[in-house]
Structure 1
Amino acid sequence: MSIREYKIHSRQDIIDFVNSNPVTPKGKKIILVALGGIFVDAYDFTSLGIGTDQLKEQFHLSPTELGSLTAIMALGALLGATLGGYYTDKFGRNKMFLIDLFFMVFSALGAALSPNLFWLAIFRFLMGIGVGLDVPVALSFIAEYSNLKKKGQYVNLWCPLWYLAATVTGFVVFPFYFFEQQEDLWRWSVGFGAVAALIVLITRYLFMNESPMWAAYHLPLKDAANVLEKTYKIKAVIVPNKDQNLEIPAKKLSYKAIFHGKYKIRTLLASVITCTQSMEYFAVGFYIPTISSMIFGKDLIYAIIGTIFFNIFGVIGGFTQSYLTEKLGIRRLAIIGYVIAAGSLLTLGITGNQFSVLLPTIFLALFIFGHSFGPGSQGMAMATLSYPTELRGLGTGWGQGTTRVGSILGFFLFPVVLSLVGFQTTILFLTIIPTIGLIATVLIKWEPIGRDIEKEAVENTILPLSEGKAF
């Protein structure tokens, strides 16, 4: 069978080839492995939630200490995302992919075996660094192995994978509950994250290649053409051109680039969505086991069942929005999701559980669906797809950074406010968050779906910035 030949006159030809050709079976495998990393990230973040009551008793934690312990992982993720976004663009997607998984294997084992609060906080912080490093790389990989027609849909698959991981935490601890391991349930839950991370690390080592789009911007043209050949099983022929830059491009960019020119408004919108969605999720979604105990009963089995039941609605909302991304666009999906989330929290806060178990169950499930359908998915999709390849690591890194600012606040606020004012008032207070996100998304009219951002980057040269500075 003859091998297809593709002539390359410039680096842009490589970008155009990826954007205009169907995803290959090899590309789909790489996207799947990247999504496996998202699964591990989500599992690590949510695994502690199912055993917070037992953790509080074991380490004698106050609400403030519990909030600080859960928030410290987000603080590590903030650091990891800020550094990871820059170095993902600098060193390449594949190298960073292997480094961050090592962090997560080591830190998950350390957290599960922690003898006291101090060591648990240290390992959770390191786990956060690993997650912060991983998400920008994973989303960049997915975007850069997808063609223009499927880019939004594939990138937005990260959200149902997140909720699937949160659901799995419930299934993981089920057997240990029946084997009378309630006191150490959180250790088994957290420790399983090391097993999942090790599996993904091995598959990444075996199957991952460098992104053709990243190679087009950062490698000599011949090497970039070789990456394209391996990915698409074609013969890439470089056509000599006297104006052709065959060596590594000299351009170096800092985070200032995403606040320059037309990118300012995109960065603002991505920042608002990522921050507000993270606050609402980690103030409510992370504490689903605790809320489930308030609704159904104090026994730990209700926390486990609630974790599985409510997160299934996140899986449904996540897959639904992924299917609709190319039809409705990121901004419209975010608006719809904000409306559902705000309305659900408002009604849940007003009614509480004064009528029956049924009402709070319906509105909490509706909140999780609305969150995953809208802002929960669209924040990182906006941060990933609003920038060309040469800025994508920076954009996703910044998006993860603002996400972690929101998660730090959400992690910390819920147990503290809950202890002060009670469940219903806390939920009413949290309604403010999706309302702010809704207003901003309605006012800022930017939509990346349907736009060839890579072509835009060629037509409008990005201003080079100071050599070698990350910030």
Structure 2
Amino acid sequence: MSTTFAPSSPAVSPTGPAKPVIRRASDVSDLVNRGAAAGSNARIVVAIALGGVFLDAYDLGALAFGLKDVAREFSLTPAGTGLVASAITFGAIFGAFFGGFLTDKIGRYRVFMADMFFFVVAALACAFAPNAWVLGGARFVMGLGVGIDLPVAMAFLAEFSRLSGRGNKASRIATWCPVWYAAISISYLLVLGFYSTLPASHSGLLWRLILGFGAVPALIIIAVRSRYISESPVWAANQGDLEGAARILKRSYGIDADVVQDADAADRAPARTASWRNYGALLRGVYLKRTVLATVTGIASAFAYNAVAFGLPVIISSFLAQSMLTTILASLALNLGFAFVGGLIAVRIVPTVGAWKLTVLGYTLQLIALVGLAIVGRPASTPEVVAAVALLATFLLGQGVGPGSHTMTFASLSYPTSLRGVGVGFNQTLMRASSAASLFLFPVLAAALNTRVFWIIAFAPLCGLLALLAVRWEPSGYDVDAEDFPVNA
């Protein structure tokens, strides 16, 4: 017996073009897969969702340059410094796990409307923190917002995008990568601006200003989202609310569809009821291999990237032995010139090349770069400095082209709408655990091993490559949402 997916036929009108008809949830998914009408709000919804990703990246990376000042101001040990740095990631672990469930349970719109307040409150608390305990606690709350936001943001990107062609689901999800690096680069620019304008006597305020600024984009998103953002039409249809899905399609997609009122009860029932048991569904059947692939590549990417990117200012300053200004400019140039550009390249070519091949390429570049950095060690001459910086650039280019862009593609497009929230939430929970370990261990390992730490970091892309070679799953262009609506042919 074969399994197929049959969309309803459009209504035939004697006076004009055929009007789409919605009889079941799969019809809504099919309309979304075809793409939005010109002038619709779908792209604005995607942009707002990416705004949440921007906040995630900004808040995670904002403390990179100020960590030494925090340690000095609060007299922190290396272990205490690691705890403050990783507090946001510990918060993200819990936020992702519960946020993934809530995204499937109460909807994408409600979760997104709530989580921005975490960013505002936590950013202001960080800026005025009187001690390390308050700073760490505020960073933990900020992490809750980050963890909650990623599942809902990925759901919006997947469920407001077409299936194939330019700007398809894989391409839209990969856009999170250049947005991430843009946020990191903007944090560097802010550091540069504040560093250049603050009097030397007030240089200790730099980290407070950078962290507090995170409240500004969050307030902007809060101000504009209620006007443009809607519930995911596919999620609404999955809950049996075909009329609500039709209204969302008209408002956000510019598609005016008729709902057939005499649809069977089975067509109105939820495709899969949201439940904590759905986390177990990720480890059964066809989803087991996809979950293993998404998890291993995600953990490997998070561990390697956080160790290198968060430690980038420290690494560059040790290579170049230059001033803070040189370190800022070099970090900015590397992120914009290689990680950001690599992400843009991935967005452009993933519809034709595929996420699997690009991720293999990215991990290969990273493995070569990390082994090279370990061999070079601490550069003692100008050619060695050039080689070390080139290897850092190669690592960041590989991150942008490969795992940085597509680990979220594997996590988001390996599961249909009914499992997407818990799928991304599960993936992010384990990724954030890897990030927490990386952020906590990197200062300790770097202090003990110096540049030999790159040998340890190199195991991450190696594991990612082995997982990709073992599970050859290509999510780009595959209609995974149709798995919610199987019908017997």
Report the TM-score when normalising by structure 2. 0.90
Matched, 1:199 2:220: yes
- Which residues of structure 2 form unaligned runs of 5+? 1-14
Q: CA deviation at 1:410?
A: 1.0
Q: Does 1:77 align with 2:92?
A: yes
RMSD value, Cα: 1.9
How far 1:103 sits from its partner (Å)? 0.3
C-alpha distance 242-72 of structure 1, shift in aligned 2 (>3 A): closer
Paired position in structure 2 for 1:125: 140
Inter-CA distance 23–342: structure 2 relative to 1 (3 Å threshold): farther
Query: Does 2:284 align with 1:284?
Result: no
Shift of the 86–111 alpha-carbon distance from structure 1 to 2, 3 Å rule, reads same
How many angstroms does 1:106 deviate by?
Answer: 0.6
190-199 or 126-135, larger mean C-alpha shift: 190-199
Q: 1:432 to 1:23 in 2, by over 3 A?
A: farther
Match of 1:170 in 2: 188
Q: Deviations over 1:432-454 (max 9, x none)?
A: 11111111111111111121112
Q: Counterpart in 1 of 2:287? A: 263
Which position in structure 1 is the counterpart of 2:274?
A: 252
Contact 2:37 2:254 (C-alpha < 8 Å) held by counterparts: no
Counterpart of 1:226 (choices 247, 255, 280) is: 247
Match of 1:307 among 328, 331, 342: 331
Residue 434 of structure 1 corresponds to: 461
Residues 405 and 460 of structure 1, relative CA distance in 2, 3 Å threshold: farther
Look up the equivalent residue of 2:485 and give its one-letter code: V
Deviation at residue 311 of structure 1 after TM alignment: 1.1
CA contact (8 A) 1:3 1:235 kept: no
Cross-structure match for 1:468 = none
Per the alignment, residue 10 of structure 1 pairs with 24
The 10-residue stretch of structure 1 (140-149 or 365-374) with the greater mean CA deviation from structure 2: 365-374
Residues 1:147 and 2:127 are matched in the alignment: no
Answer yes or no: is 1:20 the counterpart of 2:28. Answer: no
Distance in 2 (CA, whole Å) between partners of 1:37 and 1:29 is 13
Work out the CA distance in 1 between the residues paired with 2:328 and 2:263: 65
SS of the aligned residue for 2:41 comes to helix
Q: Note if contact 2:88-2:139 (Cα within 8 Å) is conserved in structure 1.
A: yes
Post-superposition CA distance 1:302-361 (Å, at most 9, x none): 332133112111110111111111112111111110000010011111113133221111
Q: Aligned to 2:47, which of 6, 10, 32?
A: 32
Aligned partner of 1:383 among 404, 411, 432: 411
Whether the 8 Å CA contact 1:3–1:233 is kept in 2: the answer is no
Task: Please list the CA deviations of residues 338-388 of structure 1 after superposition, one character each: whole Å capped at 9, or x if unmatched.
Answer: 000010011111113133221111111111111121112211110001111
Instruction: For residue 112 of structure 1, report the CA deviation from its aligned partner.
Output: 1.3
CA drift of 1:292 comes to 1.9
Bigger drift between 280-289 and 263-272 goes to: 280-289
State which of 157, 162, 169 in structure 1 corresponds to 2:175. 157
Aligned to 1:317: 342
Deviates more, 1:231-240 or 1:316-325: 231-240
Give the distance between the partners of 1:60 and 1:359, measured in 2 at CA: 36
Alpha-carbon distance between aligned partners in 2 of 1:235 and 1:4, rounded to the nearest angstrom? 11
Displacement after TM superposition at 1:240 (Å): 4.1
User: Is residue 23–residue 146 contact of structure 1 (8 Å, CA) maintained in 2?
Assistant: no
- Distance in 2 (alpha carbons) for counterparts of 1:449 and 1:292: 36
CA contact (8 A) 2:128 2:208 kept: yes
Counterpart amino acid of 2:372?
Answer: T
Q: 1:63-109, CA deviations, whole angstroms, 9 ceiling, x for partnerless residues?
A: 21111111111110010000000000111111111111000111011
Shift of 1:241: 3.9
Instruction: Check conservation: 1:3, 1:234, Cα contact below 8 A.
Output: no
Report how many aligned residue pairs link the two structures.
460
Tell me the residue number matched to 1:465: none
Corresponding position: 1:57 with 2:96: no
Shift of the alpha carbon at 1:2?
A: 7.6
Q: Aligned in 2, Cα 1:174/1:22: closer, same or farther, shift over 3 Å?
A: same
Asked whether the equivalents of residues 411 and 427 of structure 2 are also in contact (C-alpha less than 8 Å), the reply is yes
Q: CA deviation at 1:3?
A: 8.8
Q: Secondary structure at the match of 2:65?
A: helix
Instruction: Give the aligned residue type for 2:380.
Output: Q
> Residue 45 of structure 2 contacts residue 229 of structure 2 at CA under 8 Å; is this kept in 1?
yes
Alignment of 1:364 onto 2:392: yes
Q: Distance in 2 between matches of 1:23 and 1:96?
A: 26
Displacement, 1:289?
A: 1.5
Amino acid at match of 1:330: A
Residue identity in the other structure for 1:284 = V
Letter in 2 for 1:373: V
Contact 2:36/2:253 (8 A) holds in 1: no
Letter in 2 for 1:431: A
* Aligned match for 1:350, one of 375, 385, 394: 375
Kindly tell me: are residues 277 and 17 of structure 1, through their superposed partners in 2, closer, same or farther at Cα, counting changes over 3 Å?
same
Displacement of 1:16 after TM fit?
Answer: 0.7
**Superposed displacement of residue 114, structure 1:** 0.5
Q: CA deviation at 1:57?
A: 1.3
Q: String of CA shifts for 1:168-207, please: whole Å, max 9, x gaps.
A: 0111122221222422211111111111111122222221
TM-score by length of 1: 0.94
